Amino acid sequence: MHSILLASASERRREMLSELSKVDGFEVIFRTLKVQEPEPTNSLEVNLQVEATCMHKARAAALQFASLEERTIGMIVVSDTLVEDPDDCRAALGKPSDKISAASTLIRLSGRRHKVWSSTAIITRNGPGMEVGQGWRATMWTDFSIVEFDEIGMEVMEDLIGGESWVGKAGGYDLAGKAGSFSRVIEGTDVTVLGFSERAFSEIKKLHSR
């Protein structure tokens, strides 16, 4: 049975596929993409931004993992997640660069609802979808969930910022971590918030069970 290669440094994505592999019995290999992610822009709606970045990653993965030693890989998975500003569908709240930007982002989300978009591409050699190079083809799914925040008190905010739970997280928070105490998914699924399109995640299970 061919392995699945997850091209992502995301701890949550790796955990989710690891758990899936324990249930369904397939091997998952983890690699990090050697490509710079595009910076969020206000020129496109956030759902289009996340799709563009996912396709950028898909092309980079096809090139990076085309070598002979990767021939046992039956499927490559890449994904991107962006948090949409509550007031602007063109403004993405990306990964904070420092404590000040993390605090600013969390204050903006405090006591409000926002959308989280995840776009995931499944890349195979003989499957359907768009040609992304080196004989690989990609099919992409994009989903969103709505997350509701309670008001974040000063003590909790200080713990979040000081504990650096915001590092590397779109929107500056981790639903499966400390943010779970004051936030909840009110539409959609946790899977989408944590890093995968829900439909793509289901498709991974379906494709690998054939």
**Mean pLDDT in the chain?**
92
Q: How many domains does the chain have?
A: 1
> What global pTM score does this model have?
0.93
| pLDDT reported for residue 23 | 74
CB atoms inside a 10 Å sphere around CB 38: 12
Buried b (16+ CB within 10 A) or exposed e, 96-127: beeeeebbebbebbbeeebbbbbbbbbbbeee
- CA distances (Å), 23 to each of 4, 27, 29, 205, 208, in order? 14, 11, 16, 10, 12
Mean of pLDDT values over 102-125: 97
The number of residues in the chain equals: 210
> By the 8 A CB rule, do 176 and 12 touch?
yes
pLDDT at 30 over 90: yes
Handedness of CA 128, 25, 71, 32 (dihedral sign): positive
% pLDDT > 90, the chain: 79
> By the 8 A CB rule, do 82 and 54 touch?
no
User: pLDDT tens digits, residue range 34-43?
Assistant: 988 887 778 8
pLDDT band at 1 (very low <50, low <70, confident <90, very high): low
> By the 8 A CB rule, do 71 and 119 touch?
no
Q: Indicate which CATH number applies to the domain containing 46.
A: 3.90.950.10
pLDDT band at 208 (very low <50, low <70, confident <90, very high): low
| pLDDT reported for residue 68 | 45
| pLDDT reported for residue 67 | 73
User: pLDDT tens digits, residue range 53-102?
Assistant: 999 999 999 999 987 455 678 899 999 999 999 999 999 998 999 999 99
| pLDDT reported for residue 71 | 61
d(CA 167, CA 111): 21
| pLDDT reported for residue 25 | 74
> By the 8 A CB rule, do 204 and 4 touch?
yes
How far, in whole angstroms, is CA 138 from its chain's centroid? Answer: 16
| pLDDT reported for residue 105 | 97
pLDDT band at 44 (very low <50, low <70, confident <90, very high): very high
| pLDDT reported for residue 88 | 96
As beta bridge partners, residue 130 has 138
| pLDDT reported for residue 171 | 95
% pLDDT > 70, the chain: 96
pLDDT at 103 over 50: yes
Residue-number span of the structural domain to which 152 is assigned: 3-208
Q: Where are the alpha helices (DSSP H) in the chain?
A: 11-24, 46-64, 99-109, 154-162, 190-194, 198-208
User: pLDDT tens digits, residue range 135-169?
Assistant: 899 999 999 999 999 999 999 999 999 999 999 99
